[in-house]
């Protein structure tokens, strides 16, 4: 009974985080802000939901597949987010007008001027 | 104008939540799956009307993650283990597709 309650609590939290991440994806003004909100939706949304499924099903094959899914999501999703962010910055997609600083662009210009050679 | 838009959005979300949780007669897991499917609908809006290509790539990536959650809940509802196999393979293919789209967006070739 207690196990069922804890598992359903994890599933509710996961659904809530998924919904809030999608709301951020819909509302935020910029590619990079949207990427930040969407990555939250991965880390605590679907992973929390899979962890709730693992708690509900116990140490069966279903539960271990859920744990494997959590490990896979945690390994691959930040890599995909990093690749998308770097590609969108290199293909000159502009930041939103309210943003104040772009340190990646400043670093890139510093390397272009030949201050120090890239390793 | 801004307040009116916020009120319209809150009204739409409230009506959807009320219809889902208090009018619709189904088990609880089906209602939770419905919430995830509403989220997928919003993501599809961002896929269709993204201002830039990177928005569409992010939206497709997040759609894959949402579908993993929906498949886990479906497996819990029907008490079948093979839904998690589908979810694992979907995660793998979504990851590879995101990396390939990012490379194409950056302007490089796929075998670079």
Integer CA distances (angstroms), B7 to A26, B68, B74, in order = 16, 32, 33
Max CA-CA distance within chain A?
Answer: 65
Integer CA distances (angstroms), B55 to A17, A29, A102, B62, in order = 20, 11, 19, 11
Whether the ipTM is more than 0.90: the answer is no
- Indicate whether B31 pLDDT > 60: yes
Task: List CB contacts (< 8 A) between A53 and chain B.
Answer: 72-73, 75-76
Classify the C-alpha dihedral B60-B38-B12-A39 as positive or negative.
negative
> What is the value of pTM for the model shown?
0.85
Q: Please check whether residue A119 lies inside any domain of the structure.
A: no
Per mean pLDDT, which range of A48-62, A100-114, B55-69 is the poorest? Answer: A100-114
Q: Please check whether residue A55 lies inside any domain of the structure.
A: yes
Into how many domains does chain A fold?
A: 1
Q: Write the residue in A12, A35, A91 that is nearest to B105 by C-beta.
A: A91
User: B42 and A26: CB-CB below 8 Å?
Assistant: yes
Q: Please check whether residue A117 lies inside any domain of the structure.
A: no
* The two structure tokens encoding residue A76: 């691959």
Q: Write the residue in A31, A65, A81 that is nearest to B81 by C-beta.
A: A65
What per-residue confidence (pLDDT) applies to A54?
92
What per-residue confidence (pLDDT) applies to A119?
47
CB pairs under 8 A between A and B: 136
Structural domain of residue A31, as residue ranges?
2-112
Q: Please check whether residue A90 lies inside any domain of the structure.
A: yes
Q: Please check whether residue A91 lies inside any domain of the structure.
A: yes
């Amino acid at each position: 009974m207690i196990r069922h309650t804890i598992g359903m609590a994890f599933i509710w939290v996961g659904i809530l985080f998924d919904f809030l991440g999608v709301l951020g994806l819909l509302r935020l003004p910029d590619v990079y802000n949207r990427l930040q909100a969407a990555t939250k939706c991965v880390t605590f949304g679907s992973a929390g939901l899979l962890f709730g499924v693992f708690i509900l099903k116990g140490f069966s094959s279903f539960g271990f597949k859920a744990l494997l899914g959590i490990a896979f999501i945690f390994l691959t999703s930040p890599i995909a987010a990093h690749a998308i962010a770097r590609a969108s910055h290199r293909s000159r997609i502009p930041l939103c007008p309210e943003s104040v600083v772009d340190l990646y662009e400043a670093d890139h210009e510093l390397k272009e001027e030949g201050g120090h050679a890239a390793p | 104008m801004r307040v009116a838009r916020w009120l319209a959005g809150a009204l739409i979300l409230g009506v959807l939540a009320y219809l889902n949780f208090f009018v619709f007669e189904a088990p609880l897991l089906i209602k939770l799956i419905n919430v995830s499917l509403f989220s997928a609908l919003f993501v599809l809006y961002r896929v269709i009307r993204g201002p830039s290509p990177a928005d569409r790539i992010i939206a497709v990536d997040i759609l894959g993650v949402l579908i993993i959650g929906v498949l886990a809940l479906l497996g819990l509802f029907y008490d079948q283990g093979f839904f998690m196999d589908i979810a694992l393979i979907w995660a793998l293919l979504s990851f590879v597709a995101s990396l390939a789209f990012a490379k194409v967006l950056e302007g490089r070739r796929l075998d670079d």
